Amino acid sequence: MRDLLERLRVPLLFGLLIVVSLVALASDRRALRDRTRGDGWWSTLLLEVAMPVQKTLALPAELVSDAWSRYVDLVRLRQHNERLEARIAELEDENLQFREALVAGGRLGRIVEMREDFAAPMLPAEVVGQDVSPWFRSILLDRGRSHEVRSGMPVVTDRGLAGLVTATSPHAGRVTLLLDRQSAVDAIVQRSRARGIVHGQGKDELEFVFVVRGDDVQSGDVIITSGMGGVYPKGLRIGDVVAVSADEERLVHTARLRPAVDFGRLEQVFVMLRRGPTLDLLYEGEGDEPAP
């Protein structure tokens, strides 16, 4: 009998515990239904113990979860930041374009005035290159013969005269700037009408050679084209007198000019689609068709 009990003790214990559990379950359900169930001391004690233990156990998980949330937030923040930076770049680009449009608008306004003054069509052209040699001062335009650009046509900006078209191809044109040593423009002083020739010096200054007739050229005077020779129309601004040579014994004096056009920042110019009769004759024999 003892051996039998020893062999069956686990099944017996199992059965007993199951019965106890089911009885407890039934009585607890009845107590719950009758609302007579109270919290036993064991339950209270267990909950009291469970709360701080569970809180402590939750702490690492909370820390990990918090760190993960922060990491995710950081990643999102980075993505958001990247989006915002891209947006800023986009807006800056847009702003730049607006500014450019504003500047171009101002230029165009002045060019329109010039066009009305000189009664000549103006063809806008982009400066696409500078002279490859340091000894010459010329620029390359993106307009050529296919755009009705011919050698001998004056090139201007909203500030004044820039140079003369001296060579063309179907889609490009070379402009010899006023600064070039080969350049010479018949000019007058706007205030006193004293006449002379403006020469390029190969540097960022011009030289005005004039015949002295009293004290009629002063520093600050504006020099404009005279219109003589038929190359440039009359009245195009060339530059301002910076200094006049003081050698009274010479008949011919010179003055240093600051060009009206900032040649260092040339981006866009306008080709005046007109050519004087002198240049028509000059270029006609060299295969360059006359201007329309």
Partner 1 sequence: MRRLVTAWTLGVLGLLAGGALAGFLPYGWCPDAGLLLVVIVALRAPGVSGCLAAWGIGWVTDLLSGAPLGQYASLRLLAWATTRLADHQLNLRRPVLQVGFVALLTCADAFALAGLARLVGQPAAFGLPLVGILLPHALANAATLLVVDRAVAWSLARLGDREGTRPALRLPAGPALP
Instruction: Indicate the Cα dihedral angle 8, 11, 14, 18, nearest 10°.
Output: -120
- Consecutive H or E run containing 15: helix 9-33
Could you tell me the end-to-end alpha-carbon distance of the chain, in angstroms, rounded to an integer? Answer: 134
Which residues fall within 8 angstroms of residue 59, CB to CB, at 6 or more apart?
Answer: none
**Nearer Cβ to partner 1 (11/287):** 11
65 vs 146 by CB, closer to partner 1: 65
Using the rule CB under 8 A, is 13 a contact of partner 1?
A: yes
User: CB under 8 Å to 95, separation ≥6 — which residues?
Assistant: none
39 or 248: CB nearest partner 1: 39
What residue type is 17 in one-letter code? L
The reply on whether position 9 binds partner 1 by CB under 8 A is yes
Q: Is 71 in the site for partner 1 (CB under 8 A)?
A: no
Instruction: Determine, following the binding rule CB under 8 A, whether residue 171 of this chain makes contact with partner 1.
Output: no
Binding flag, residue 24, partner 1 (CB under 8 A): yes
- Using CA atoms of 66, 69, 74, 77 in order, give the dihedral in degrees to the nearest 10: -130
By CB under 8 A, which span of 26-34, 111-119, 146-154, 195-203 interacts with partner 1? 26-34
Kindly state whether residue 72 participates in binding partner 1, applying the rule CB under 8 A.
no
Indicate whether 46 belongs to the interface with partner 1 (CB under 8 A): yes
103 binds partner 1 (CB under 8 A): no
How buried is residue 20: exposed, middle or buried, by Cβ count under 10 Å (0-12/13-18/19+)? exposed
Closest to partner 1 by CB, 53 or 252: 53
Q: Which of 8, 48, 50, 211 binds partner 1 (CB under 8 A)?
A: 50
Among the listed residues 22, 67, 86, 101, the single contact to partner 1 using CB under 8 A: 22
CB under 8 Å to 274, separation ≥6 — which residues?
Answer: 118, 120, 121, 153, 154, 233, 291
> Under the criterion CB under 8 A, does residue 69 sit at the interface with partner 1?
no
At closest approach, how far in Å is the CB of 49 from partner 1? 8
Instruction: State which residue, 29 or 213, has the beta carbon closest to partner 1.
Output: 29
Both structure tokens of 166: 């001296």
Three-state SS for 289?
coil
Show Cβ contacts of residue 28 under 8 Å, excluding neighbours closer than 6 positions.
37
- Stretch binding partner 1 (CB under 8 A), from 10-18, 116-124, 229-237, 263-271: 10-18
Q: Could you list the residues that contact partner 1 (CB under 8 A)?
A: 9-10, 13-14, 17-18, 20-26, 28-29, 32-33, 42-43, 46-47, 50, 53-55, 57-58, 61-62, 64-65
